[in-house]
Structure 1
Amino acid sequence: MEREHEEAMRIEFVRYTQLGEDRYRPDATANDRDRITAQLRETDQQWADGPHAEHWSYLSDAYEDWRQAPDTMFRFLDNIDHNGGFGVTDIQHRSLRQAGQLAGRDSEKVRDAARRYIDRTTGQSTPRPGRGQIERGR
């Protein structure tokens, strides 16, 4: 995936998640909800049918995983960092971080995992927090 396509996908996903939240605003009318639902379906279908469907699907799944099981996702990110990124691509790792932020899980642990990942990719070294530090952060 070219960088400009990835950026477009990420921008569109922010809009997509915001629309999803707007659908449940207390002041949203039935017409608002119908219009928003149609926009969500259209956006999802365009990406699902496009050349980057796999990346859109991964990002969407990661978002839902963060919403449903944040503790599992925190452990997953920590495991990815501990194993030097093994098992996920750079795009997938960025998707996991973005999904966590959008799902309201932008905690110190997500920021630390992102910093360690960036340090790993640039060759710098950041100490990994001890188990006690992770447990206290929950």
Structure 2
Amino acid sequence: MHGEHEEAMREAFTELDRLTRLAYRPQASEADIQRLYTEGAAIDQGWHYGPHQRQWEFLKAVRSQWECEPEAVRQALRYCGGNGGFDPVQRRSIEQARILSAAAPRPDIERGR
């Protein structure tokens, strides 16, 4: 993955994360949620069906793991040691996902509003 493609992927993922956080706000209306999800889906699909699908899906998966099972990720990183078999792009994805998940936890969406 070329540096400029990686930079674009990281920017797109940060934007997708921001849109998701906005949709999870308790004060978000159903119309806001729908609009934010639509915008996020467009970003996701662009990368999911693009030439860097593997890196995008890795970033999404590790972001989810940091949020749902942070200790499991830490333990896996400790167990692997060194680079743990991860390439440099994956290592940076792990770090980006950690930073985003630590920034602010996503609140639960109220159902049935």
The question of a shared fold, defined as TM-score above 0.5 by the shorter chain, is answered with yes
Runs (4+) of structure 1 exceeding 4 A deviation are none
Give 1:10-49 correspondences, 5 Å limit. Answer: 10-49=10-49
Give 1:87-126 correspondences, 5 Å limit. Answer: 87-104=85-102
Larger radius of gyration: 1
- Please say if 1:53 is aligned against 2:50: no
The question of whether the paired residues in 1 share the 8 Å contact of 2:59 and 2:93 is answered with yes
Amino acid at match of 1:7: E
Amino acid at match of 2:99: Q
Unaligned runs of 5+ in 2: 104-113
Q: What is the RMSD of the two structures over their aligned residues, measured on CA atoms? A: 1.2
The Cα offsets for residues 75-127 of structure 1, whole Å up to 9 and x where unpaired, read as 122234x2x2141111111101110111117xxxxxxxxxxxxxxxxxxxxxx
Q: Aligned residue for 1:9? A: 9
Give 1:65-84 correspondences, 5 Å limit. Answer: 65-80=65-80, 82=81, 84=82
Shift, 1:25, TM fit: 0.9
Q: Secondary structure at the match of 1:50?
A: coil
Q: Equivalent pairs: percent with the same residue?
A: 34
Amino acid at match of 2:67: R
Unaligned runs of 5+ in 1: 106-138
Q: Secondary structure at the match of 2:102?
A: coil
Amino acid at match of 1:36: L
